[in-house]
Structure formats: structure tokens, C-alpha cells
Amino acid sequence: MNDERIIELFFERSEQAIKELDNKYGRVCHKVSYNILNDRQDAEECVNDAYLGAWNAIPPAKPDRLLAFICRIVRNVSLKRYERNTAAKRNSRYDVALQELEDCLASATTVEKEIEERELTEIIESFLGSLSKENRVIFLRRYWFSDTYADIAKQVGLTEKNVSVRLTRIRKELRAYLLEREVLL
């Protein structure tokens, strides 16, 4: 079923919308959540919570890209669960991915936090637009979907080492890009 029809089902308040959403994007949603939480049961609960979030958001929202819409909800719900679960613990897969980016991003403890975050988002989107499609996919698979190097390598047809080297180079480029735009690191 196409995205437009699924959204129509949400607007009709048909429970079939959730079933169709799960049939079409459930696997991706579970992978996003599992990559953050590293726990199948928590991931399942987060995906279900995300479906409820989509149910409550559509209508009035009418997303242009349903996959991006539901993945963002899943990711946000999973990140909240992750923070709650790991208040004093460490989840290696997600922490490692975040630590790789740590040197590139500024601390968000200033008064102008919201404005700075919006500006930073625009700068990072601009940076991503400057990358080749393959490098953009590698970057997003790692830092948005939290995929492992092995998963990324399999998806794009490279070796894990090549993915690792590319990510290192992309992070260096991102750091330089941010410095050129006077983003404090």
C-alpha cells in the first residue's frame, strides 16, 4: 500500500492504518530502535509507542514522507528510553557512534541553545548536501540509524575498513566545515 493511502487511513481513523504502517515500515522502525537500545523487548515497546504517537499526530499532521516521519518518532521515543535505561550504564553501540561525533559538535549549554541548535541543523544539512550520495548514506546510516560498520559496508558494497576510513574523513571534513562557519566546538 502506498504512503498516501496509509495517511488517508489515519485521517479516516481506521485501525488498519497502524497495520499497514507496520507492514510497510515495521522492519525499519524496529531496526532503528534496536540500534539505539540494543534490546529487542524495549525496541518493540518503543515502536508500539511510536505507532501510538503517529496515531495521535495524524491528523492534523499530514507528512510528506511517511518513512521519515515514523522513523523520527521511533528515534525520539527510543532515545528517551535509552536515556532512562542508561542513566548510570553504558550502551556501547550507540555511545560509540555518538562519541565519534562528539569532537565535531558544540556543547548545548548556552542561553541561545534553541537558536544555535536550529543554526547548527541548517549548517549540518548544508554539509550533508555537499557530500557524495554514497558518503551521505554512510554518514546517515551510522549517525541517524546507528548502523554498525558491518551493516553499512554490506549495504553500500564496501569493506568495513573502508567505511571506517570514510567516516573518519567525513568527521574531519565536518569539523573543518563547522570551523569555517565559526561554530564553536
3-85 maps to CATH 1.10.1740.10: yes
CA distances from 128 to 115, 154, 164 (A): 20, 21, 18
**Residues 86-97 as b or e (16 or more Cβ within 10 Å = b):** eeeeebeebeeb
Work out the average pLDDT over 158-182: 92
CATH number of the 94-180 domain: 1.10.10.10
| pLDDT at residue 53 in the model | 93
Q: What is the pTM of this model?
A: 0.64
Residue 110 has pLDDT above 50, yes or no: no
Instruction: Specify the amino acid at residue 129.
Output: G
Find out whether 25 and 63 touch, Cβ atoms under 8 Å: no
Q: Where are the domains of the chain?
A: 3-85, 94-180
Split at pLDDT 50, 70, 90, the class of 91 is low
Residue 94 C-alpha cell reads as 550507540
